[in-house]
Structure 1
């Protein structure tokens, strides 16, 4: 079958080759503790029987991913034993020989081929929807813009190829699942998402969108009457087929541990609620504001002689970069159940909207983004890297609508900036700044080429697709960076207020995250209002 017109001229694989070459240059860069995490997982899956995988605790970095990822590490270890057998010794803590570093770095780069394939499938869906259009140049093609946005995503490069993780191929599974839904291959889309959940359970955050979409748009049959879609009957056969696919994947993943009577131990590793409300680095979400409010009330209360607290202990527990439980000093401490309820309430309107107004895969994708938003903003122990779970799917929507492109530009800029504290070493500073500039400049220029600015008559200057106030907020990242990375230490505040730069970054970025969430939510719900109005007319 010939490729759609919009995809024939896209140099997809050359773009992937260039970015892969760039990843090779990042091999010697800084590595976080996640490098040792995955080295330890290589060792324990290789050296121990499966019955010991989720019990082993020689290292503090115990196995806490679902079984498919454990088997993935086991597969890598079969190759690693020929590279450097010492890396596979469980007692070799913090082992990092040159061979080990190169092997683990290359394993991330090579598994990104799955991401590349999934991006190609998503680009084909974009190209098909624009099949009748001709474009003057390459950069004006939505498929090409999407390919670059996904393959060169600054956050993925920073987190996977410097900080060190395997998010690339995991997002590949997510994008492949999304592409299959856009292609009408719903069972296959559900299958790949079930596989993804058994690699990394953080994606359970967006599971409500999959559940509702597949139930509404696959298990119910539809007919057309008077130009409108009518949902006429429920197919029990389709429900059973979908259930069998999902159950089979989970049975294959968790079945051995159920048979060994170890499922409770596996679950306790997957959901460790004793890790505290916030991660070592504050994610830019609602709880950043809550933590700051607690500090402010505490400081004011102490100075006004209304409170007597150990402020040093409070400061250390909340901003010392430790993964642990802590108690808020003045405001009520937040239990896991509270974050669960808030997260559920935040995504409920989106899920209900998807049920009431099934508008195909695009409606599903909007619901998925809102589910990711809700879990990031209100979730328990949210990693700052989870912002990518919003940015990556939103990239697809950005090449369809300038309203979504506006949200994407604002969120991707502030979201990627919020990852800067992950790389705090000086040699990586120019790398992360250049990566940020390249991706941000390309995003603004490419999306401006796809759409005319929604504010052509604005009196004040503004960035492409953004209004003046949004533009001012984005430009505010520059003085924020200058203060947190330069001025703060020059003023001699590094030791006395060591927490302040991180707190300032989290709170400033949280403003942008919450703003884009509200804007995107409003526009999504307005679509339903327009549909109701059209029906009444």
Structure 2
């Protein structure tokens, strides 16, 4: 209970900080995007949510997430209309900012976090036997990356990631139909959950094929659950193929380019030496990314298909989502949260200090974004608290020594020194982006190393002694 209340208090403290785009017209930031979606969904019918019009300028934070996000925005807009109609006045509320509105918006995130994400973490811990230890439960609530992006920068990643965790609860309890429905909900809240789609498909298919006679029935049940889930969520948009096509076009805007800002993936990391954007056209780059991502994902997926148990499933969820982050097309800095929250499930499967190190670096990989929002201090404090809780709650003395000595400690020291330099020393005029570029390269290197270790654990290394696989 103390940890639970402490994690909520930490979120409240972070929520006092600035949000994305505060006081920065004309586009502001993600905070304004979420407010604008509430404005649009509350005032317009669903058929106009994704369509450019005089009432809905898609060039100004047009809705580009799936229908479940839109429905959530509508609910928030409906509540806002009963508090202050100025907050969602169509066409007149652009860029609206006030202390009262900030409190309202921050509260919507905290409530969503507790209802969806907290409950899912508790359920994972409750039903995981020894595989998801108390360490995992505590650190899942104190993970800096998710806290800073949702309660600082301002987004609702806790909903899609919480729904994904609820899907894992269903799969873990052998309620595969329920798990499939939750995963469909996660995918229809944020399309980036496609990072997890291949492992989920391979796990369910492999599990069904191992049934002696019921494999066809099982696959039929799963197929019906998925189709009905999508039909219900997309119902307002199915009347017109043209309208449905416009929704899909908004969800997959390939014209935005290979990556945004200085994201810690391979394409950005090699860009100082190999200018992929200059060497190839947009279509060729898209094909290269798709082929590379698919080929690198195949080993983990095929292995999971042949051995569909929960341990391999969790490792594959991390491995494939990390490959998608590192090699796919149009990646955002915040997409590392998908791999990071999946990695929280590996406490008990991998040495604690390895998982903690990856989670720690996932937060620092977003430093340029967080620094832009004025969240550098919050990144430092939450990261130090996270490391302290990781070591304090470490039941294995040998792992505790490893987590505070040797390579792990040196890595953390170098990270903190580099971050301090990037925040205090002005960059050379000739290389104005040197600090975010080096940050992306180092973070990408750590992610590649972690991905290699995680793959080794999936294919070669046995699980820790005494850990149940939760089959």
TM-score (normalised: structure 2): 0.89
Which of 43, 46, 50 matches 2:42? 46
Structure 2 residue aligned with 1:497: 431
Where does the alignment leave 5 or more consecutive residues of structure 2 unmatched?
Answer: 21-28, 463-471
**1:426, distance to aligned residue in structure 2 (A):** 8.5
Structure 2 residue aligned with 1:25: 13
In the aligned structure 2, how far is the partner of 1:527 from the partner of 1:479? 34
Q: For residues 289-300 of structure 1, what are the structure 2 equivalents within 5 Å? A: 289-294=269-274
Helix, strand or coil for the counterpart of 2:270?
helix
Q: For residues 357-396 of structure 1, what are the structure 2 equivalents within 5 Å? A: 357-358=307-308, 360-396=309-345
Deviations 1:499-518 (A, max 9, x none): 11111111111111111111
Mark the CA change 1:510 to 1:21 in structure 2 (over 3 Å): closer, same or farther: same
1:429 aligns with 2:417: no
Count of matched residue positions in the alignment of Structure 1 and Structure 2: 447
In the aligned structure 1, how far is the partner of 2:374 from the partner of 2:253? 34
Q: For residues 122-133 of structure 1, what are the structure 2 equivalents within 5 Å? A: 122-126=124-128, 128-129=129-130
Q: For residues 146-185 of structure 1, what are the structure 2 equivalents within 5 Å? A: 146-185=136-175
1:352 aligns with 2:302: yes
**1:60, distance to aligned residue in structure 2 (A):** 1.9
Structure 2 residue aligned with 1:506: 440
**1:441, distance to aligned residue in structure 2 (A):** 2.5
Structure 2 residue aligned with 1:322: none
Q: For residues 37-436 of structure 1, what are the structure 2 equivalents within 5 Å? A: 37-56=33-52, 57-58=56-57, 59-91=59-91, 92-113=93-114, 114-126=116-128, 128-129=129-130, 143-218=133-208, 220-221=210-211, 232-233=212-213, 235-261=215-241, 262-280=243-261, 282-294=262-274, 328-329=277-278, 335-358=285-308, 360-402=309-351, 405-424=352-371, 428-436=375-383
**1:425, distance to aligned residue in structure 2 (A):** 5.2
Extract structure 1 runs of 4+ deviating beyond 6 A: none
TM-score (normalised: structure 1): 0.78
**1:399, distance to aligned residue in structure 2 (A):** 2.5
RMSD of aligned Cα (Å): 2.3
Which of 477, 481, 492 matches 2:415? 477
In the aligned structure 2, how far is the partner of 1:108 from the partner of 1:70? 15
Q: Is the 8 A contact 1:118 1:179 kept in 2?
A: yes
Q: Is the 8 A contact 1:37 1:61 kept in 2?
A: yes
Structure 1 residue aligned with 2:396: 450
Kindly indicate whether structure 1 or structure 2 has the higher relative contact order, using CA contacts under 8 Å at least 6 residues apart: 2
Helix, strand or coil for the counterpart of 1:453?
helix
Deviations 1:363-422 (A, max 9, x none): 1111111111110110112111111211212122123442xx343122112111112212
Where does the alignment leave 5 or more consecutive residues of structure 1 unmatched?
Answer: 1-10, 131-141, 222-231, 296-326, 457-461, 529-537
